[in-house]
Homo-oligomer: A and B are copies of this chain.
Amino acid sequence: MSDAPQLLIVAAESAPWTDAVMSLAAPHRRTVVVAPRDEIETSAVEVVVGAPPDLAAIIPRCPQLRWVQSTWAGIDAIAHFASETLQITPLKGVFGPAMTEYVVGWLLAIERNVISRASHTQWTPSLEPRITDKRMGIMGTGDIGTAIALAAKSFGVEVFGLNSDGRAVEGFTACYPSTDRLAFAERLDYLVSVLPQTAQTDNLIDHEVLMRLNPGAIVINAGRGNAVVEADLIASLNAGHVRAAVLDVFREEPLPGDDPLWSTPGAYVTSHTAGPTPDEAVAEVFERNLKRYIAGEPLTDGVQPGRGY
């Protein structure tokens, strides 16, 4: 009985996140990795980590259960188990902040001459541009787009959004439907995409959109590569209409070594590193919540009992 596991990691097969969670949890609780349908001793289980569909059958069998960490953002399958004594935490609060750091970091680095000043060897007291009072358009107004919008707004940037139907979203001065992408792009200083890959998001950033940006605009793509017409963007950089393009995602990844983006002036290529991978995200959210769990503090983004989200 004293050997009964206290923390279950439920996974069909071992993945980087299972190893990471195991090494984080093992010093604190007796921990095992189990497959979704394994026969297991559940009498001592306090914590379960896994995908909601795999956990729905296990949760009712754990009388001592106090915390369920989902490895998915969507927790519909298990949200109804949340109670005063059982906290359920989704995979949230990681992608938005990480992508916000990326977008704000690159924008400030370019506007405030960080990249060039980093290698200066003489005094250069020239006035630097600021991001305050600039106009940013964000394609994609979900969790990630909203996190970026709120951060940009706190720096005095005015933020416009593009989404499927033009619905209003908090943090955005106005939102446009994707059918109005040209009106959306008009006079923007910064164009940021965090769009997922769908048939509707193909080629949204093309010559027509780029021409409507303010001269000297900065383009950042941290969504998926399909949104950008690469040849149009390179032409706009070479013509000097777009000053800089920061690209984290591509139609083919890794970006091939002979892709012209590597050598286009003003193009900055990063390696799909704007946000964590799902494996990294699971470890990060679990680690943050584990610290709080051990300290007896409320967990981050826990589901409200009875509310289902």
Contact = CB atoms under 8 A, between A and B. Distances in A.
Interface of A: 97-98, 100-102, 104-106, 108-109, 111-115, 117-118, 120-128, 130-133, 150-151, 154-156, 253-255, 257, 262-263, 268-273, 276, 280, 288
B273 A97 contact: no
Contacts of A120: 269-271
A121 B269 CA distance: 8
A270 B276 CA distance: 31
A106 B112 CA distance: 9
Nearest to A280: B127
Contacts of A268: 117-118
A120 B255 CA distance: 12
Contact of A155 (B101, B118, B121, B272): B101
A17 to B, nearest CB: 13
A299 to B, nearest CB: 15
A104 B97 contact: no
A114 B123 contact: no
A120 B247 CA distance: 12
Contacts of A105: 104-105, 108-109, 111-112, 114
A213 to B, nearest CB: 21
A82 B197 CA distance: 55
A115 B118 contact: yes
B106 A104 contact: no
Contacts of A118: 109, 115, 268
A257 B120 CA distance: 11
